[in-house]
């Protein structure tokens, strides 16, 4: 699997991190920005049409990625990079719509952790098969991180007559895992060029779904700026994950980025004053331990 590093922006030279530290920093950056974007998008989706929120954030992300690709002088994706970008876009839109569908019809306490764990386990398995098994400390950190995701995203059910939503969660997690594996195959020629293709595919598919299902999508112009921030955060998370997968092990990058629900939960606790359960506290502690173990296991790689 390619391990070329992203070229620095034109102009000044940026000091390089070792690959072990770089994958940890970029993976955590992905988790933080993805989690913050999900928090903002979740709040906006409470009062705005879901498809309108998703399409707007995807369009903003595509424009931002295009601007960054031009500024960095990145080439237009061709060959295998184009193919993997198209695959990632298809996986991404299936994962996104399946996740939201599962959360709508099922129980969050089942859908959220199942999606997160399945989405992390698939690239971990692929990474182990292709790159080999990492050190014991890294494996221990990966296991703790997966447990932490389950604990932090646990929520009580909303009635025994509500379906679990497990089938949607497995579909969403499988598609998200496929997305992570796909963008982990990029050659390293650029990060934002492939993201333009990915976002274009996702936007086109969403437009087709809106037309076919006749879903509401209109967003008032006063909400576009807030959704723009969400779109940029989501795009930054994708770019950070691509960087992490290019400089380090796919398994490590995928697990660290899968900690994004921890960011979302922490923001909900801090800003919305949501109840802090024992599972939240234990999960957050395990998250810190997992990060430390993964960092220790990859520090000299």
Residue range 29-69, pLDDT digits in tens: 999 998 888 788 877 877 888 788 888 988 998 999 999 99
Q: What is the mean pLDDT of the chain?
A: 81
Indicate whether 91 pLDDT > 90. Answer: yes
Percent of the chain with pLDDT over 90: 20
The larger pLDDT score, comparing residue 107 to residue 244, is at 244
What integer is the mean pLDDT of 274-283?
A: 80
pLDDT digits (tens, 9 = 90+) for 194-237: 999 999 999 898 889 888 888 888 888 888 889 899 889 989 99
What is the pLDDT confidence band of residue 13, given thresholds at 50, 70 and 90? very low
What is the pLDDT confidence band of residue 156, given thresholds at 50, 70 and 90? low
Q: 211: how many CB neighbours lie within 10 A of its CB?
A: 10
What integer is the mean pLDDT of 276-283?
A: 81
What's the start-to-end Cα distance of the chain, in Å? 16
Indicate whether 20 pLDDT > 50. Answer: yes
Lowest mean pLDDT among 142-156, 171-185, 214-228: 142-156
The larger pLDDT score, comparing residue 261 to residue 158, is at 261
Question: How is residue 249 written in tokens?
Answer: 């092990």
What integer is the mean pLDDT of 256-284?
A: 81
pLDDT of residue 155: 61
The larger pLDDT score, comparing residue 107 to residue 250, is at 250
Torsion 67-73-78-79 (CA) sign: negative
Q: Is 82 exposed, middle or buried (0-12, 13-18, 19+ CB in 10 A)?
A: middle
What is the pLDDT confidence band of residue 108, given thresholds at 50, 70 and 90? low
């Amino acid at each position: 699997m390619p391990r070329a590093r992203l070229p620095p922006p034109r102009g000044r030279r940026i000091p390089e991190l070792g690959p072990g530290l770089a994958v940890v920093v970029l993976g955590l950056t992905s988790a933080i920005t993805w989690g913050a974007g999900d928090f903002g998008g979740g709040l906006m989706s409470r009062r705005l049409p879901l498809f309108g929120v998703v399409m707007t954030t995807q369009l903003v992300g595509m424009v931002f990625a295009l601007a960054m690709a031009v500024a960095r002088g990145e080439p237009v994706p061709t060959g295998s990079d184009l193919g993997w970008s198209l695959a990632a876009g298809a996986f991404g839109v299936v994962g996104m719509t399946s996740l939201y569908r599962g959360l709508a019809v099922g129980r969050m306490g089942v859908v959220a952790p199942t999606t997160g764990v399945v989405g992390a386990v698939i690239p971990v398995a692929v990474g182990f098969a292709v790159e080999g098994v990492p050190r014991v400390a890294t494996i221990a950190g990966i296991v703790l991180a997966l447990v932490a995701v389950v604990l932090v995203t646990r929520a009580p059910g909303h009635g025994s007559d509500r379906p679990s939503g497990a089938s949607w969660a497995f579909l969403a997690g499988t598609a998200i895992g496929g997305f992570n594996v796909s963008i982990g195959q990029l050659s390293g020629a650029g990060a934002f060029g492939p993201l333009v293709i990915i976002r274009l595919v996702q936007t086109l598919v969403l437009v087709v779904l809106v037309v076919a299902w006749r879903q509401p999508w209109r967003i008032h112009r006063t909400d576009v700026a807030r959704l723009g921030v969400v779109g940029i955060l989501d795009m930054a998370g994708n770019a950070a994950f691509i960087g992490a997968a290019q400089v380090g092990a796919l398994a490590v990058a995928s697990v660290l980025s899968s900690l994004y629900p921890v960011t979302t939960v922490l923001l909900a606790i801090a800003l919305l004053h949501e109840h802090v359960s024992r599972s939240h506290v234990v999960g957050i502690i395990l998250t810190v331990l997992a990060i430390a173990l993964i960092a220790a296991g990859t520090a000299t790689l």
